[in-house]
């Protein structure tokens, strides 16, 4: 068993849910988060609202699941990201679980 974590901008919530379903990951949790990127100070100074440093509305999904499901999910995420027209790809990470109850 491993822990898989997926982050995305909020607009991709429906797509992430479909990816989880297609990867046979049926049990998961979701949390709303703010995503931030460090920007070039020169670019920020040219912004009319440079003093406003807000984050992007993002989501984080996580699930304790089997290795095969995670492999399927990663393949689906890679395909999804190849087709994106934005600079906000889905991100995923896997964490091994040493013990669980």
Kindly state whether residue 50 falls inside one of the protein's structural domains.
Answer: no
Where residue 68 falls (left for φ over 0; alpha for ψ -120 to 50; beta otherwise) is alpha
The tens digit of pLDDT for each residue in 53-82 reads: 566 789 999 999 999 999 999 999 999 999
**Host domain of residue 33:** 2-37+55-96
Q: Which secondary-structure segment (H or E) carries 52?
A: none
CATH number of the domain that residue 16 is part of: 3.30.70.120
Kindly state whether residue 86 falls inside one of the protein's structural domains.
Answer: yes
Q: Is the CB of residue 16 less than 8 Å from the CB of residue 60?
A: no
Q: What is the dihedral of CA 65, 80, 31, 40, to 10 degrees?
A: 130
More confident residue, 3 or 46: 3
Kindly state whether residue 60 falls inside one of the protein's structural domains.
Answer: yes
Overall domain count for the chain: 1
Please state the rounded mean pLDDT for residues 16-31: 97
Tell me what pLDDT residue 97 has. Answer: 86
Kindly state whether residue 9 falls inside one of the protein's structural domains.
Answer: yes
Q: How far apart are CA 19 and CA 49, in angstroms?
A: 36
Helices and strands in the chain: count of H runs, count of E runs: 3, 4
pLDDT at 38 over 80: no
């Amino acid at each position: 068993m491993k822990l898989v974590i997926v982050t995305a901008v909020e607009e991709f919530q429906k797509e992430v849910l479909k990816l989880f379903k297609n990867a046979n990951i049926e049990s998961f949790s979701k949390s709303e988060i703010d995503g931030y990127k460090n920007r070039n100070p020169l670019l920020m100074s040219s912004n009319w609202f440079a003093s406003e440093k807000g984050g992007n509305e993002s989501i984080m999904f996580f699930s304790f699941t089997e290795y095969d499901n995670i492999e399927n999910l990663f393949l689906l995420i890679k395909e999804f990201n190849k087709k994106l027209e934005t600079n906000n790809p889905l991100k995923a990470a896997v964490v091994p679980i040493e013990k669980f109850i």
